[in-house]
Amino acid sequence: MPLDQRHFRLTASRGQGFKQGPLCSLSDTIEFRIQDDLLTNPTIVEVAKLAGVSTTTVSRCLNAPEKVGKKTLARVRRVIEEINFSPNMLAQNFRRGKTNIVLVVVHEIGSWLFAEILEGIRSVLDARYSIVLTESRPGVAEGNSFIDMLVAKQVEGVILLCSTLPFSKKLIEINKSKPLPIVIGLEPISDDLNQFPSVHIDNYQAAFDATDYLIQTGHKAILLVSGPRNSYVTNDRELGFREAMRLAGLPVDEASIIHSDLTSNGGVNAAMEILSRPQMPTAVFCANDDMALGVLSYAARRGLKVPDDLSIMGFDDTRYAAIANPPLSTVLQPAREIGVSAALRLLRAIDTPEDNAVRDEILPHRLVIRSSTRPIG
């Protein structure tokens, strides 16, 4: 029934407040017709008036019902139900000094890898916190804004799924005087940030293993398509690539590594440079799957057959890797598990900030070999 058509019969006993009930000859009967303009957005004050109690009692009914008498509680709940009252939980949380909001900072919201990590984060935090996303890409937001939000208690904690270089100095300065509930996920961290909990794989070892696999299957002319030079995560992967090549006695020079954006377009641009050279590599190892798919796409446009003419190895094992043509060999990062572990560590940082447990958590990786690579020779 529409709200403007509903009637409430409330009885008022002398000396008492109004209460809902049947008509009674011993009471003064008052009929209220609730109009849309009166209770479209009912407040706690209106609930208190209609229930014949104080606003403090209504608040206690909402937040500590065990401390309220059964009859009073039932009366208040009936009024709340009848007028569709909904308490402003955000305002209540602000008054208590809590927002129940966790901020997750990612490099790019549209990334499949971040989407899978977020699934893990939500599986842990959804019952207790709302999750707000922000991007760290240049031009999207000021790098330090999330720190200001955290200090001002606009958010309860932060999970960083991005490069932390722009934030390092301010984070360290503030954390000296007051521990900040921050967890760094996915990417390795610099030595000056090892005071914060982190969850990631061993990117150096993972890249070493992928490169060594290509070497063990006969490839000697292997090229690495890496990310930006200032990225901790791709720098570690580059070091792993270099070490595997060194141990195999294979040369690595400036031409062996191409730096590009960690996107499919970055992969296309790298592939254009690779295929313009007089000598082609037999295998390309890319620092993430997006780049590998870009290389794969451009190679196909140029008429190359993968893996017959060129083997391509990715990194991450995102959702598109298995359905690429051909399916992409890659390094599996346990993205959802990274999200779960990061969220659990954030809860620990929020609930027990004095906890000095082991800060660095390394999760396992593994090679996933599909049809984009093949043995040669």
Q: Is the predicted pLDDT of residue 300 greater than 50, yes or no?
A: yes
Report the chain's mean pLDDT, rounded to a whole number. Answer: 81
pLDDT in tens, 130-170: 898 887 765 544 455 666 666 566 778 889 887 555 555 66
The rounded distance, in Å, linking the Cα atoms of 70 and 76 is 10
The rounded distance, in Å, linking the Cα atoms of 77 and 185 is 44
Q: Is the predicted pLDDT of residue 23 greater than 90, yes or no?
A: no
Q: Assign domain 203-334 one CATH number from 3.30.70.890, 3.40.50.1980, 1.10.4000.10, 3.40.50.2300.
A: 3.40.50.2300
By the 8 A CB rule, do 300 and 317 touch? no
Note the CATH architecture for domain 96-201+335-363.
Answer: 3-Layer(aba) Sandwich (3.40)
**Residue 160: what pLDDT?**
86
Class of domain 3-87: mainly alpha
The rounded distance, in Å, linking the Cα atoms of 331 and 27 is 78
**Residue 13: what pLDDT?**
37
Most confidently predicted of 123-132, 176-185, 226-235, 258-267: 258-267
By the 8 A CB rule, do 265 and 310 touch? no
- The fraction of the chain above a pLDDT of 90, given in percent, is 46
* Of 1-5, 37-41, 193-197, minimum mean pLDDT range: 1-5
Mean pLDDT of 247-272: 96
Mean pLDDT of 172-197: 74
Residue located via tokens 């690429």: 324
Pinpoint the residues of the chain covered by CATH 3.40.50.2300. 96-201+335-363, 203-334
